[in-house]
Structure 1
Amino acid sequence: MSSRDRVLGRVRRALADVPEDDTPYAQAVVRDYLRRHGERDPEDTVELLAENLVDYRAVVHRADAGDLPLLITRLLEARGSGKVLVPPGLPPEWTSAPDTHWVQDHTVSTPEELDRVDSVVTGCAVAIAETGTIVLDGSPDQGRRRITLIPDHHICVVRVPDQVVSSVPEALERLDPARPLTWISGPSATSDIELNRVEGVHGPRTLEVVLVSGDHSSP
């Protein structure tokens, strides 16, 4: 008998005297909580997102769609990034920075190869104002989960106000639970037993979020 079988056996014995509940799952949990806290117009929602992103130690930038390529170029130059990773569906105009080696992600790319890039640039699926959270879902402009977890520097572009919602329930309505969802609230950080904060352990040490407004015709 395997360890798994022993554990499951203990669970069955513990539940032996529990009556079966045929209540449908959708009715089993009361979901009468607030869908959002307060009423905000789109502009105020974007401002709340920016405030909470900064509170999580992300660096926030703003740009019009036409100025986005130049801003990305400046951010990469300021970082000294010579090798930059991009997902396959990133709009090509975003990758116009000169003197930059743009690295396309491939299925065969190893963690060691991804660790040698300086930065990664992606889009996002949705951004949540109340929690300052960016959600990636593996779409072509975001790529595989690991390309945003291994590089030390992540530039994430959020189209505002289209991709910004107030609350987590509103975000869940937009997301497909079958997709590989990555929820990001600031740069990766953890604390040791003495509560010393260490960044970059489980993801990028630096998260820069660009709130871009204007023409959103690109995917």
Structure 2
Amino acid sequence: MSTSLRAQFGITLYEDIGSHNAVTSPFFKTATIVSFQYDDNMIFMGNQWNFSKQTYAFVPDVFINYTKSFAFRKQVFDVQAFFLYVPFSQFLYELDWGVLAGYSLQRLRFKLGTHIRMFGLTRAAIEDNAFTDNRNIFEHFNMIYQISYYVNRPNRGWNIGFTLTNIDYFTINQETNPIFNMQISCDVNPSFSLFLEGWYKSAGAFNLSVNPFGFFIRSGCLCKI
């Protein structure tokens, strides 16, 4: 986002294409994320459609994030609060909400936080199976993290980055299931940029017998208004 304007809109569009061990065919996901910045406050709202679902593909994932940046002892930090809704099918959905704290250097960026995850049954599942008690499953205070290194400083027109994390816009993995990410970005002009990313996920970590789980390519653009 521009630092010369008090307020600015932005829109990010991207497409994910990849595969993983849980499906037999490639998956395709399309996302749109709208952002608004006013001074040190930013709001992100996005939807993602998984067109590889055999059913319920028309119901999108929903992501909402509020970020507040502030200075402490001449260093810039940011604090984020987020909400995530993922409908797996007409019978099962996932809700996540949590907080993140971030700190950025010229080429390094760190994020650390926690979240609560809930798996719930939809009204259709409850009515079809005549459930009468609470069927929600909770995971309390899971750790979320992100460590990124960039070749160039943020003010350069292009950059290459490498990330180890267990979070994405519409995905939150367990602490022991990190995702490895390589990013390439290029500013076409001050208001428009392109990016290409490769994401690799293993079936767990910190184990000598870890197997690959999946890989996908993300390509997209960011437009600032």
Question: Scaled by the length of structure 1, what TM-score is found?
Answer: 0.26
| Bigger Rg, which one | 1
TM-score under structure 2 length normalisation? 0.26
From the two aligned structures, give the one with the greater helix fraction: 1
Greater percentage in strand: 2
| Higher RCO (C-alpha under 8 Å, 6+ residues apart) | 1
